[in-house]
Amino acid sequence: MKIAVIQGPNLNMLGMREKHIYGSMTLDQIHAQLKGSADQNGIELEFFQSNLEGEIIDRIQECMGTVHGILINPAAYTHTSIAIADALKAVSLPTVEVHISNIYHREEFRQKSITASASTGVVTGFGPFGYHMGLIALTQIISEMFNAQQQQASAVPVEEENTTE
């Protein structure tokens, strides 16, 4: 199973910015912990971070046909980017949105997620551990989809008996 982990603007500044909100872990530390969990479960992760909306959209589009799901923290674009939401909808992959802080305990403008409408689920407010929660949820969703596809493929259609003589 392969999952893209996409990080939005300013997340490259984790560990240095607003530690009272985001904690002291750097993005590299979060990725290292997430990779350790993924490796233990046979999951391949691809990490990407950009401060540019267009680059994030390009990366989402590149996910089509190359990964099984997306774990995304759109950061500030959560509240503004119809384009990222549209890209997530276009690729039609299971997607879990993650936020380190609880966006519902923040400023009013941060309490609406435009990108959540394109996500399978949202994890918010659990700090860096939220990425692990999102990964667990996403792998479960992908596994259930895979199992459903396997069951459909192995179902043998029953032929109707001809009752006319």
The catalytic site residues sit at: 22, 99
CA distance 25 to 13: 10
Query: Which stretches of 64-108 are DSSP H helices?
Result: 82-91
CA distance 81 to 53: 8
- Here the tokens at position 131 are 């990425």
Neighbours of 151 (CB within 10 A): 9
> What backbone torsions phi and psi does residue 85 show, to the nearest 5 degrees?
-60, -45
Q: Which helix (H) or strand (E) element contains residue 72?
A: strand 69-73
Neighbours of 108 (CB within 10 A): 6
Which residues are paired to 69 by β-bridges? 3
